[in-house]
Amino acid sequence: MRYFQSIVVGGGLAGLRAAIELNRNNVPVAVMTRVHPVRSHSGAAQGGVNAALGNHERGVYDSVEKHAFDTVKGSDYLADQDAVSRMCGDAPERIYEMEHWGCPFSRTPEGKIAQRPFGGAGFPRTCYAGDKTGMVMLHTLYEQVVRFEQASERNEMTVLDEWVVTHLITDGGVCRGVVALDLRTGAAEAFISEAVIFGTGGSGRVYRNSTNALISTAHGVAVPYWAGVPLKDMEFVQFHPTTLVGTNILMTEGCRGEGGYLLNKAGERFMAFYEDSKKAMEVAPRDITARNIMREIAAGRGFENSYVHLDIRHLGEQKIAKKLPGIRDICVGFLGIDPVRDPIPVQPGQHYSMGGVDTATDGSTVMKGLYAAGECACVSVHGANRLGGNSLLDTVVFGAISGKAAGEYIAGLASSGPNAKLADDALRKAKAEIDAVISLEGAESISRVREDLAALMTEKVGVFREREGLSAALDGVKALKARFSKAGFGGPRGLKYNFQVLNYYETRANLDVAEAIVAGALAREESRGSHSRTDFPFRDDGRFLKHTMAHFAPDGPRLDYEPVTLGKWEPKERKY
């Protein structure tokens, strides 16, 4: 058994920010992460992070309240307005703090943090560092973690990389630690702590066509889900309008924010053809843009029936080199085209999980001692559709909030400390389960089940949905679960850097979380934000202005609903 007063699971932006907050409040912390922190998927974020700083010449009248309104409207009124106000209110402080920690934001001519226009935002409020904002933020936070590591005299900041948390340890319904696999040895170990914060990111790899890293599986949300914590609003999956054809690597919204065009095969800026995007054109919110690209392709005006063009040629080589250098590198490296001379072939692809582990505004879950922040959590600030630039903001704001809340929770505990019996019991159970996985003798391949699930989700639970397809998807997931129960552990059973045990857990997680996504989508008979039902094309506030809560059960989720916290803004028709 090992003991840390607090444990953060996940070394991306949310997890690192939470760990820093715990340390600042004198709480020792261990960050347990599947990959070294700088390898986290936060680093793939490109376009920027929102805060109403008013640094742009067209942004002087921006305000926290306007940021909050844009976020609520963008969410199609499903976001909880108290959580949104908190996020937008904390935004300037969190961004200045990142800057003070060395984050190299691009600059205005006055030397302030530069901001660019993004979809669904009334003012240019997306702070950026070229088109590598996530990467420089991730590196900056890791640098601060190293600073805390070096400043601490008693190992108060510990990073354990290449550890995968497989189980929560609970005592009378209270979270008291985790069981985790050390990838290096393949051995499981029990960790006791007073509080655990999950910052494990999104579940993108439930889908095949995803911008997400290969490590962004549903396993992070599944561990709390399996332990009885509900998942909220899982049917809301963001499809980014512009992902590179073939690999689905992200082509930032910044391409359009900087003035890029979307063109059909006739070379027309087709966003003008649609009522909901003719005004905002290319900087319409992501849900609307993704739908209109799909409609354009369905109407036969796409290329090879599968993509459209993102054209940034008119921005000129100099602006592209200055503001979108990473985009140019990716296009050259992965597709052999240079966006200075050629339009970029793009199509919508899975990008972000609006849903996640249900949390209160302070990051706490229904399980005492367990917190979640960032993409794995659902507070909810993104509702039915997240605005670009709000995900990086979510990570640092709610990372800090949950770190603070967990610290206060620990300070208020009457008794605490290591608990060998609790650890041994949990470890024994987890080891028995892992041993059973290693001895699986079935003929089915775990990898094949995983791939087939991803293909099914991309095909049937995409931008547009309807009852028949969703029912087929639900049957399909159940059939895959049946196949998965007949899976075998292939190849040698030596466990050192043997990714098969991890593959088993991730596939099981993807199956269970996919089932929650499909069940939620099937039950929600309306169109709201990213959830577009062709058989129910309108938003239905009477029946569905509520959060879907999925509770885990082995044969499929049990759904119930929670009210949305409204406030200043009554739901209205969402027009841009």
Q: Which is nearer to other proteins, 111 or 412 (CB)?
A: 111
Instruction: Indicate the residue among 126 and 500 with the shorter CB distance to other proteins.
Output: 500
What's the closest the beta carbon of residue 236 comes to other proteins, in angstroms? 24
Binding mask 217-256 for other proteins (x = CB under 8 A): -----------------------------xx-xx------
- Tell me which residue of 444, 535, 527 sits closest to 490, measured CA to CA: 444
Q: Is 104 in the site for other proteins (CB under 8 A)?
A: yes
334 binds other proteins (CB under 8 A): yes
Q: What is the CA radius of gyration of the chain?
A: 23
Pattern 165-184, other proteins, x by CB under 8 A: -------------------x
Interface mask (CB under 8 A) for other proteins, residues 515-554, using x and -?
Answer: ----------------------------------------
Q: Which of the 8 DSSP states describes residue 271?
A: G
Q: At 310, is the secondary structure helix, strand, or coil? A: strand
Is 173 buried (19+), middle (13-18) or exposed (0-12) by CB count in 10 A?
exposed
Rounded to whole angstroms, the Cα distance separating 491 from 455 reads 25
Is omega for the bond preceding 380 within 30 degrees of 0, making it cis? yes
| Residue 329 touches other proteins, criterion: CB under 8 A | yes
DSSP at 554: T
Binding mask 143-162 for other proteins (x = CB under 8 A): xx-xx-xx------------
Q: Of 32, 88, 234, 330, which one interacts with other proteins (CB under 8 A)?
A: 330
110 binding other proteins? (CB under 8 A): yes
The residue within the footprint of other proteins, chosen from 82, 99, 171, 276 (CB under 8 A), is 99
- Residue 199 interacts with other proteins (CB under 8 A): yes or no: no
Write down the least CB distance from residue 496 to other proteins, Å.
6
Asked if 326 interacts with other proteins (CB under 8 A), we say yes
| Number of residues this chain uses to bind other proteins (CB under 8 A) | 63
CA distance 526 to 544: 7
Q: Smallest gap, in angstroms, from Cβ of residue 252 to other proteins?
A: 12
* The token pair that represents 277 in the structure block: 């995007």
In the complex, least distance from residue 143 CB atom to other proteins, rounded to whole angstroms: 4
Distance in angstroms (rounded) separating the CA atoms of residues 403 and 18: 4
Strands (E) across 144-245 are located at 157-161, 163-171, 174-182, 188-192, 195-198, 231-232, 237-244
Nearer to other proteins among residue 69 and residue 128 (C-beta): 128
Q: Kindly state whether residue 102 participates in binding other proteins, applying the rule CB under 8 A.
A: yes
Q: Are 508 and 222 in contact (CB under 8 A)?
A: yes
Distances 11 to 225, 252, 360, 554 between C-alpha atoms, Å: 20, 23, 22, 29
Give residue for tokens 């700088």.
38
* Active-site residue set: 240, 256
111 binds other proteins (CB under 8 A): yes
> CA-to-CA distance for 560 and 562, rounded, in angstroms?
7
The burial class, CB within 10 Å (0-12 / 13-18 / 19+), for 556 is middle
Identify which of residues 330 and 381 has a Cβ nearer to other proteins in the complex. 330
Stretch of residues binding other proteins (CB under 8 A), selected from 108-116, 221-229, 436-444, 467-475: 108-116
